[in-house]
Structure 1
Amino acid sequence: MSTANSIAQNTAAALPHAMPPCANARLALFAVRRMGANGLSDAHVAHTFINGFGENFRRPLVLMRALMADLAANSSCPIAIAPCCCGRITSAESALLTILARAETAPDSARLLLSDLLGIRRIDGVLASATAVAQSFADAGRPIAA
């Protein structure tokens, strides 16, 4: 097997999903990736939210920070995130975007996905954070679609 084939197979295994077509989901994904790599107070995320949400950027930004803190504090296993430059997404990122898309419309489905993602049963607090993020995006006219 050639080295190029091996690299392609490893990349496909690590990043099995395509980038979401929804611009709002990509904005949420950008925030997850940047905050996951650089911390909750990442200036690029704040700048992107100011550009994306205008003067109403604070609520989605603060709630996204709270969600990321909840995910980090409550997860019993690592949550794989890819670098911002990747054009594909990990299974964990795909699950998180699906959770955000379903938090308001299909909460039972979001609950099961979040429980699987975190590896714990009691996810009510984290689910409330995810729902708040989804609501803040929708209230700003940027609903997240999976």
Structure 2
Amino acid sequence: MKTTLIATLGALASLTAAINANPGIVYNDATGDIEPGISTGGGTLDLVSMEVSNTSTDIQFKLTVNGNIGTTDWGKFMIGMSTGNPGTTSGNGWGRPINMSSTAGGMDFWVGSWVNSGGAAQLWNYTTGSWNGPA
């Protein structure tokens, strides 16, 4: 059973912004490609695809995993972004092993999300040499 997780960043979109939403772009991922020796969480850590869409005020990431997050809910999902401002090539808001090299200057925004305990997400930004957040 495939399950979908949605993390929304920014303020709540108004009805007008929702009407003017840009259609999402879907990025597919090969399934079953998790490093041997790492738990797959019953498939919940195995990404199938990610859809990215936006309104004038929000960006939305819709992750589809190859498992049921209702039965295995301990996975954490992290997204790094580089906007061209000075960022970092190592580290993130939670100190997890996610790093990003970018010709645009490294990771300066980072989202950490989870599905356990009702699920939620945190937005962090990197300025003046440290992570600030959650926003």
Common fold: TM-score over 0.5: no
State the TM-score, normalized to the length of structure 1: 0.28
Relative to its length, the structure with more helix (as a share) is 1
State the TM-score, normalized to the length of structure 2: 0.29
Relative to its length, the structure with more strand (as a share) is 2
